[in-house]
């Protein structure tokens, strides 16, 4: 039996693909006890996924546990699940966390006789689903790799040393998520000055291989829709940079920008939650104008105060 800790977007995709191949799946998510729980329960019922009321109940009979939660919950979930893990159970940490955090999780899981393996997801899950490129790390990575291949994963061992796989992921995120934040900042500011077309034309000339209009729309979409998860990942990326002994500037700023956009999306300033086209506009200018209206409104209120 496979246990999924976290039944968000990634957890549900994995559940669907694992169930489609005939695997028994048990899942737990903290949101099951919130207003979002109804949607999660409906999804589980459609796909034949059993739901557990706690981390311990989810993992107690599992041969493989996959932790797919938000980055900030990585260690807390390992600590919650560890007492119920059976000796020899594989614990695959799918989360976007720093090498230091992964090493802490490994100590918690290994202490009860289970087998911890760090996983680093190297691109967006939805297009690839279970076959998303996955790096494995740690002393037990080579033992788990063929098991995952048999389940349909596209996994390869990065290193027997813990932290190598996650360092690869986190350093990549400094670039990818940083570029998202920079595009939102650059394009929105350019829109405010009425120079967005000139900026995009200049970028197109310098980097002719990128369709900046399309890329800009995609970046706005991804951050509006998934900014909360991405911001938590970037705080872990910032921790990764800090663990390397470097001053943290870019990664920290990216984390704050992603969190800011997520806050505005949650408050309804950006996108239109519940609308089928939420965060799917092909025109990034729509969201940039919403951002500008928001910040300019706050500036006006400050002046009036």
Predicted pLDDT at 276: 44
Summary count for the chain: helices (H), strands (E): 12, 8
pLDDT of 190 reads 98
CA distance 12 to 67: 12
* Per-residue confidence (pLDDT) for residue 273, from 0 to 100: 46
- Low-confidence winner among 57-61, 113-117, 287-291 (lowest mean pLDDT): 287-291
- H or E stretch at 128: helix 125-128
Q: 91 and 67 in contact (C-beta within 8 Å)?
A: yes
The answer to whether 90 and 147 have CB atoms below 8 angstroms apart is yes
Q: 35 or 277: which carries more pLDDT confidence?
A: 35
Q: What is the mean pLDDT of residues 170-180?
A: 96
pLDDT tens-digit series, residues 217-233: 999 988 988 888 899 99
Q: What is the pLDDT of residues 248-304, one digit of tens each?
A: 999 999 999 999 998 998 888 876 544 444 455 668 998 899 899 999 886 555 545
What confidence tens digit (pLDDT) does each residue in 125-173 have?
Answer: 989 999 999 999 999 999 999 999 999 999 999 999 999 999 999 999 9
pLDDT at 27 over 60: yes
Task: Check residue 266 and give its pLDDT.
Answer: 84
What's the CA gap between 290 and 277, in Å, rounded? 16
Give tens-digit pLDDT for 195-212: 999 999 999 999 999 999
Contact (CB, 8 A) for 122 and 132: yes
pLDDT given at position 97: 95
What domains, with CATH codes, occur in the chain?
Answer: 2-162 (3.40.50.720), 167-304 (1.10.1040.10)
Which residues touch 187 (CB under 8 Å, ≥6 apart)?
196, 199, 200, 216, 220, 284, 288
What is the structure's pLDDT at 298?
62
Region 68-80: mean pLDDT is 95
What pLDDT, on a 0 to 100 scale, did the predictor assign at position 301?
52
Q: Return the pLDDT at 209.
A: 96
- pLDDT of residue 23 exceeding 90, the answer is yes
Q: Using the predicted structure, report yes or no on whether residue 305 has a pLDDT greater than 80.
A: no
**What is the structure's pLDDT at 275?**
46
Reduced 3-state DSSP string for 159-228:
ECCCCHHHHHHHHHHHHHHHHHHHHHHHHHHHHHHCCHHHHHHHHHHHCCCCCHHHHHHHHHHHHHHHHH
The proportion of the chain whose per-residue pLDDT surpasses 90, expressed as a percent, equals: 83
pTM for the full model?
0.86
Residues in the chain: 305
Res 265: pLDDT:
86
């Amino acid at each position: 039996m496979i246990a999924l800790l976290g039944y968000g977007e990634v957890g549900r995709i994995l559940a669907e693909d694992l169930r489609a191949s005939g695997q028994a799946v048990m899942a737990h998510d903290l949101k099951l006890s919130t207003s979002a729980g109804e949607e999660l329960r409906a999804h589980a019922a459609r796909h034949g996924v059993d739901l557990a009321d706690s981390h311990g109940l989810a993992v107690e009979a599992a041969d493989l546990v996959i932790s797919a939660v938000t980055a900030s919950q990585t260690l807390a979930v390992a600590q919650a699940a560890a007492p119920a893990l059976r000796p020899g159970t594989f614990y695959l940490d799918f989360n976007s966390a720093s090498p230091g955090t992964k090493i802490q999780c490994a100590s918690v899981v290994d202490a009860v006789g289970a087998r911890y393996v760090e996983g680093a997801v190297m691109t967006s899950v939805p297009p690839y689903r279970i076959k998303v490129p996955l790096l494995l790390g740690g002393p037990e990575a080579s033992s788990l790799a063929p098991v995952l291949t048999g389940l349909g994963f596209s996994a390869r061992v990065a290193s027997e040393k813990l932290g190598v796989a996650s360092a690869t992921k986190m350093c990549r995120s400094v670039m990818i998520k940083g570029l998202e934040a920079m595009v939102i900042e650059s394009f929105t500011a350019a829109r405010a000055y009425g120079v967005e077309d000139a900026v995009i034309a200049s970028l197109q000339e310098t980097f002719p291989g990128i369709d900046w209009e399309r890329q800009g729309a995609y970046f706005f979409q991804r951050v509006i829709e998934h900014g909360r998860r991405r911001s938590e990942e970037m705080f872990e990326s910032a921790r990764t940079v800090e663990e390397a002994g470097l001053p943290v500037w870019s990664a920290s700023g990216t984390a704050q920008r992603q969190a800011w956009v997520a806050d505005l999306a949650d408050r309804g300033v950006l996108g239109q939650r519940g609308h089928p086209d939420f965060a799917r506009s092909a025109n990034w200018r729509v969201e940039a104008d919403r951002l500008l209206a928001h910040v300019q409104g706050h500036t006006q209120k400050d002046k009036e105060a």
